[in-house]
């Protein structure tokens, strides 16, 4: 009589434990708070600056919207070529977000705490992406 052991299951994957995903969610949350009219326009001098700030914050929010999903897809896919595709796609978006957040911070002349927090989170996301990217390439 042969006894067959059931395979032991690994702990299930939880994307919420993924640091890069959490940083992307933080950036998205902060960007949504700013795009919902919470920008401090009184700091800005002219209407064109106010319009630019509004457009930048909305674009940042729209760009940050699908970033967590892309990170989740990259984390769970087993196909290395798809991982590389997601890596390049995420890298472009993270870089773009970081630049836009920095421009928004400069526009506010470092006088708006929520914009500074957004720029800091974008920089943190960029650093987290570099670590994740190194882990990805060292795996294969």
**Segment holding 127, helix H or strand E:** helix 113-139
> What is the per-residue pLDDT for 12?
59
Give 121's contacts (C-beta < 8 A, 6+ positions apart): 23, 26, 27, 30, 101
pLDDT of residue 46: 86
pTM attached to this predicted model: 0.82
Consecutive H or E run containing 43:
none
Q: What is the pLDDT of residue 105?
A: 92
pLDDT, residue 80, reads 87
pLDDT at 61: 92
Report pLDDT for 7. 53
Q: What local confidence, expressed as pLDDT, does residue 93 receive?
A: 95
Residue-level pLDDT at 30 = 93
Phi/psi for 45 (5° steps) reads -85, -40
- Tell me, what's the pLDDT at 13? 66
What is the mean pLDDT for each group of 10 consecutive residues in the chain (140 residues)? 54 76 94 78 84 91 93 89 92 96 91 91 95 80
């Amino acid at each position: 009589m042969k006894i067959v052991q059931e395979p032991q299951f690994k702990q299930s994957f939880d994307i919420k434990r993924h640091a890069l995903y959490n940083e992307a969610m933080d950036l998205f949350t902060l960007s949504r708070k700013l795009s919902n009219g919470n920008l401090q326009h009184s700091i800005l001098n002219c209407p064109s600056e106010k319009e630019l700030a509004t457009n930048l914050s909305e674009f940042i929010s729209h760009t940050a919207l699908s970033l967590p999903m892309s990170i989740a897809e990259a984390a769970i896919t087993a196909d290395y070529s798809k991982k590389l595709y997601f890596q390049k796609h995420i890298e472009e978006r993270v870089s773009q977000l970081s630049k836009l957040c920095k421009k928004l911070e400069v526009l506010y002349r470092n006088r708006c705490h929520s914009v500074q927090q957004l720029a800091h989170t974008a920089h943190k996301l960029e650093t987290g992406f570099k670590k994740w990217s190194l882990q990805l390439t060292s795996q294969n």
